[in-house]
Structure 1
Amino acid sequence: MSKNSMIESLRNYVNGNDDFAILLNGEWGTGKTYFLKHEIDNKEESRIFKDKIPIYLSIFGYDSLDSLKKDITDKIYMSCFNMGNKIGKELKKVLKPIRKELKAMAGNHGDLFDIGNKLLADIGSTFMRKRIEERAGKIVVVIDDIERISEEIKLVDFLGYILTDLIEDLKCRVILVGNVSKIQNVKNDFNKISEKIVSRVIPFSIDFSTIKDSFLDKSDNQFVRANSDWIGKVLLIQFKTSTLNLRTLKFIFSTFEIVDQELREYFENHKESSDDKVNIERSAFLNIFVIAIEHREGRLTKENLQELRPLMNTRNFIRFTLNKGIWKNSSTNTKNNDHLAKYIVKKYHCINRACFDDYIFYDEQINHIIFDLTFDSVAFIDDWYKLFKSDIKASQVLVDKTNYFRDIDDDEFENLQIKVLKNIDEHKMSFDQLINVYDNFDYFEKINLLMIHEDYQSKILQEIEWIITKNCKNFEILDDYQEKWEMKKDIGLISVDIQKKIDEIFNKFDEKANRKRKLEFLTSIFEGNYRRTEELSGVNTGIDFFETLLDSGLLQKYVLTAHPRSEKFTQYIYNHFVNNNYKKIYPYKEKNITNLCEKIKEFMRENNSLGKIGMFNLNELIDKLNLLIETDQKDKMNSNYFFP
């Protein structure tokens, strides 16, 4: 069942009035608790609990039904009085002086005081009961971890309480949450008894959109946000081929956070290129990803780490599946009783996946962070360079040698230039090296020391375009290339013709990158990701919000849909354009606003599945857009009045 279908099922239930509970059933670690608590904590925006009074309680830790019933009743009272932990404070304040006066009147007649005290308690209970009755059908009780029910609590009594007290008497809607397959001893009883109480069992499974929203798009980690598309591909592959526990994901990202901090401290004191920084962190993330999954699923322990040795600090994994000699003496419980290293190769490396294969390697430092919480960034980066940058380092040696041409003869210099071009053909040079090679060869041509007859300019231009194409989806790397290129142009040593050709390459990818920035900027507004909106606002000056929205799929995704999510965008437009004159920063055309309003109105007329809340959200957006047009027209009239 998709996430939207599950939400729709839960929403329909809480808005219903039948005398049944509903069960949200899913495996441990799939995120049931996280999902429901998030919906409850953000109930004003929730598609399930909006306009309801949700109450959450875990059954875990209760050894008696009486204590469980008391806490549920207290939470219901607290929610009705909206008084936090001070239940009935308002009522107690009224009854306290009455109880004091009653005690004085009773004097030594304790029986009279007890009778009066009971009467007051009945008054208070009646008062509270009335408040609950006024909210009939509004209270939604979420009871989590039902598979952890204590052996001291009889299942039939627990389910009977839910039906009789909560559903029939107090008119509450009840959502039970748990992993039914883990209910020990009483599983058959649960299925038999629950048929009379539970109307439907809603399956819950981990949803990739939830993962992307929770772990990637709204992450506090800069690398994770900047590389969310790439990480999303890695996770999606895992989702398609295997299961992924939400707790394991949290472990992966929290572990990476430690490593990322160490790497960033290293980068601050060393001059790695931007693409090297990104690739090093991608390698670290993937190494953590694999080792963490295998550790959390019980296959990899500190005791059998030695079985990973065949995989350490290499990029050639497939050959290990052919070498039977290294698979002996395995103590690991893997599928088909494979040696652990072979199991990992077959699971992660036998499918052609560029997002994974281009960066993965296994290093001792990641084993240390997983098992000992220690990490040596210098050792990790040194190992990374040995595997990933040996060609680049070799190319740098060649480039450096061309600077000392006075020390060699003509034949050596010609061979050196041929080797440089060969490395370019084999994609063994970085962007910086290509620019430096062009500088050197251009200089050699001017002083009549160019020993080769090949068109080096075209070769270098083609390679520059290849490198930019390879990295065009990463804003940080592309910006780094452009910055270095602008610095080279400022020096003034490169011919105007070549400048134009390289500028054309950048401009071609700039258009794509700028469009992606615009879409990401608008997406962050719709999603309420304020941190990302702030980060992207500086690089998106000049964007026409409404033109971009009309020309993209975001309009269908967030506005023209059965469940519009336009409220954050509406708020942004009102705060920044109606109340503040952001038109100078983000200019727009009035016709685009008009076209947007017409599209929304047409959608509302033709879409019968649009609910009342959806209609409200879209009407609110139209109102703010019309208000923006009116504000613009008033500004124009005032401008014409003062400056005719």
Structure 2
Amino acid sequence: MNSENIASIVVEYIETQNTQYALLLNGGWGTGKTFFWKDTLLPLIQQKNLDTIYISLNGIKTIDALQKQLFFKLIPYFDKAQNKTLKALATISGNLIKSASKAFIKVDPSDLFQGIGVDNFDFSKKFICFDDLERCRIPMKELLGFINGFVEHKNLKCLILADEDKIFETDENQKTNYYSIKEKVIGRVLNYKPELKSVIPQLFNKYENDKAFLSFLKKNENYIFRIFDEQKEDNIRIISFFLDSLQNVLKCVIDIEDELKKELLFLTAILSIEFKRGFLKSNESHDYKGLGNTTYFWYQEVESDRLRVNILGKKEEPEKEKTYAETFYLKYVSNRLEDYHFYESAYTYVLSGYLNVDKLSKELEKRKPEQPTKEQEAFSNLMSYNFRKFTDDEFATYTADVLKYLEEGAYSMYSYEQLSGFYHFFAEKGLIDYTNDEIEKKLFTGIQIASKKNEIDRRFYDNMIHFEVSNPIVQPIRDKIIELHTALNKELVKEESNQLIEVLTKEEYEKLDELFKDKKFNKDFIAYLDGQVLFQALNKNTNQFLTLFRNEIKERYKHTNVKMFYPDDYECLYQLHLAIQKHLNENEIPTLRKFLWEELETLLDNTCEALKKDDAELGTAFKS
């Protein structure tokens, strides 16, 4: 039932004289029943000149406790009460309480009203909302009987908020009692399901004192609606949590481009859903689960590897369960690739509540486009496929300038394939006075210089190699890019891998765990590490640290088809295995230390066997 229909039923209920029943607003957890009461129903009721009272039944154990709550909620309306005795007692008790507090005497205000119950009040002009029916600890028969006494005999207007499905979760025996008296007390059940399209702008009203944020929300209202609508997420508490989180993130980085704000909006929204639904935990706030790698080409590569393994015909093994990153990608990212960028600081904030503003600022700074140099500006103009709009003088200037810059190595080495395509085209069409050989020479001279910058772009490279060259004439420069990238990547990965040696040398317990989690989906983390060097570092570690290292190795390689995830780790692990064997054979080692080395050796032996077996099977499969 939509909110307008519910509102009209409540108004009709208010206007009906001498009603003897209550209304029940039924809806799931977090659907915003309380918000709907406060934001929509409460103003309507107050317009009808009824005194409104709200009572949460959460945790209330006895009727006496409920009566006391109701009594104190009624005190503000004593002045309107026709019963002069109540008004006089209220005045007297107020003075007594003030005197008692001055004398530091403990007085329970309810004791001053002995003999006076809620029955003394006129309820014909009252409207009471009882919330959280399913969380009440009073037996259902007693509770509904208590409420019935007022709605049937005193014409009280009453609305009960509940999630009926949860009433019997703690006590199945309540079901009989509930249904036996429900029909007597509740005249109509209103099933509430929030309409995101109308609820979301209402949630924005909370931020009316933050004009900039409110303006941003209104500008992106449809976008926010589509995110939650696509995920079929109508839990108002989750959406409210997202809005509060986004406000705190954006107020720390006010002057950023709208595109970056939109990235933060999307990421905060989907992380809020995952966190509040229990798929992410607070203690995982620094375990990024590979979410920074979730790109189209990353997923295509994962799927290709999975397909390759299936080709091997390993029917005895069940299909490998998707990683969290894969599930996350399919659920959120695949349809909104242009909106997704992973900010580690935002992830940590949503999960933990701590926002590292400096880290967020640095992450955003990296996202800002650099001011183009004269070389980049010339490149952009010429490579935009709009060169036909140039004058002849402009075209001559741009082609000469870019050719000069590319020969000097001014551009990223990954750009040289595109440059090759354009300049060979210009030469073929007679637009420039250079032969293909002359162009090729300049390209290879420039790319060699460009590679010396040691600038590596793995994402661009992955994108490039997923497509065949459109013109065979650019194949030589593509091959050169692959050669240079491979060499640079190997050196960079070696440098990254050496972080492990540094952590082992310093015996930094927390950093060891963080490092393995951070590199969990990195295929090259171990691949280029020297196994002998790794052994030397481990040999200096304590038994405790050696055990921790073994646990991390066990966790990294615990799944089947390890070759698919870590195709090049075999050499390092095998060298480490041989070094441990040699150490055990040639040295006298204390009993416990020897036991730990043997445990690690066995683990490495099994892991290497799995990697080696996969290699053999792959070779056999593709030969056949």
TM-score, L = length of structure 1: 0.48
TM-score, L = length of structure 2: 0.49
Q: Which has the higher contact order (CA 8 A, sep 6+)?
A: 2
Bigger radius of gyration, 1 or 2?
Answer: 2
